[in-house]
Amino acid sequence: MAYRVALQPESFLCFPPVRSKRNARSPRVSMASSIRSSSAIKVETPKKPFIPHEDFLPDCSSEAFYDEVKELRERSKEIPDDYFVCLVGDMVTEEALPTYQTMLNTLDGIRDETGASLTSWAIWTRAWTAEENRHGDLLNKYLYLSGRVDMKQIEKTIQYLIGSGMDPRTENNPYLGFIYTSFQERATFISHGNTARLAKERGDLKLAQICGIIASDEKRHETAYTKIVEKLFEIDPDDTVIAFADMMKKKISMPAHLMYDGRDDNLFEHFSAVAQRLGVYTAKDYADILEFLVTRWKVGDLTGLSEKGNKAQDFICNLAPRIRRLEERAHGRAKKAPTVPFSWIFDREVQQ
Ligand SMILES: [Fe+2]
Ligand SMILES: [Fe+2]
């Protein structure tokens, strides 16, 4: 049986996409050419899209700029180094955005064929990229103004990371691709939410707002991608549950797992260990996200699956408890980790 997914992904975005006069009608596109349906997906958009320089950064055209920067630097003095390691790691991850747009454009049936294509998928991907772009912009400018971090080393890391790319093993398949992005958007929502909470606990309310507004963008993106996968479960449950199991067997790789600063060959592991210790993003979060998605997509309730689909369903539904057990065992065996220097903070040592 053939289906057709007709989605209006641009309705997830803050900014209404620019419409060409050549095509004022919302285009409806088929996905993976074998899927048919006709419902549109809507999510709430915020009342006012945020502009980093207008809402969260000192205004560089104002007389008050120097005082505002001074104030920002006073506040950031109270923030410990390990927090900055997490914030820089998050910022570097955001700054490798060209890699993520490229990844979306590898997916069959949804890629932007011309670079300015008017299909809904292409419009969505470009507007999503525009929203994501302000995350790296905002964090980068904040960190630069704080004076607490080595921007030369950070810029090097970003260049290396974009140069390295990533392979999320989604194999040009939009089923795998949207399961991956659902997972990753929730992971970034959690991570930015935690840096917001920690900034607040350390008394920097402005920084808490910055991380919080980025987290709220990620939440909307999570909603969009999980709705797309929800639709796939509705119209093609067998292939979707098999794709979900396939993605989880491969493990969801973190977008910045190839990060390098020209010095530390294990930079990503070291950054991840600090994020784990501070509770910014942890192994428990990985299991929690999986569990959330299993519930969100009602994977346990699927019926009428093929034998392969049933096996995939069993695998998925039992995976989060297994990850938790392994994690608890590893935690029990863990010894106190050494400190490691991070070039991002002028080689100061941070506890792993
Ligand atoms: Fe982001
Ligand atoms: Fe996002």
- 270 pLDDT band (50/70/90 cuts)? very high
Question: Does 234 belong to an annotated binding site?
Answer: no
Smallest-distance ligand from the CA of 222: 2
Highest mean pLDDT among 45-59, 101-115, 316-330: 101-115
pLDDT digits (tens, 9 = 90+) for 124-171: 999 999 999 999 999 999 999 999 999 999 999 999 999 999 999 999
Res 281: pLDDT: 96
Tokens 């057990």 label which residue? 325
How far apart, in whole angstroms, are the C-alpha atoms of residue 332 and residue 116? Answer: 52
Res 11: pLDDT: 52
Residue 58 has pLDDT above 60, yes or no: yes
Taking each helix axis from N to C end, the angle separating 120-146 and 151-164, rounded to the nearest 10 degrees, works out to 160
Q: How far is the CA of 15 from the centre of ligand 1 (A)?
A: 16
Question: Does 222 belong to an annotated binding site?
Answer: no
CA 69 to chain centre: 29
Residue 55 has pLDDT above 90, yes or no: no
Mean pLDDT, range 179-185, rounded to an integer:
98
- 306 pLDDT band (50/70/90 cuts)? very high
Highest mean pLDDT among 5-14, 43-52, 119-128: 119-128
- Give backbone dihedrals phi and psi of 342, rounded to 5 degrees, phi first: -115, 125
Smallest-distance ligand from the CA of 97: 1
Smallest-distance ligand from the CA of 128: 2
Which CA distances in Å does 80 have to 146, 149, 212, 267, 300? 13, 12, 19, 19, 43
CA 232 to chain centre: 21
Q: How far is the CA of 332 from the centre of ligand 2 (A)?
A: 34
Residue pair 148/76 in contact by the 8 Å Cβ criterion: yes
Residue 118: exposure state from Cβ atoms within 10 A (0-12, 13-18, ≥19): middle
Res 41: pLDDT: 57
**Of the candidates 118, 84, 102, 101, the residue with the CA atom closest to the CA atom of residue 280:** 84
Tell me which amino acid residue 308 is.
K
DSSP string for residues in 114-156: SSS--SHHHHHHHHHHHHHHHHHHHHHHHHHHH--S-HHHHHH
- 331 pLDDT band (50/70/90 cuts)? confident
Question: Does 270 belong to an annotated binding site?
Answer: no
Residue 31 has pLDDT above 70, yes or no: no
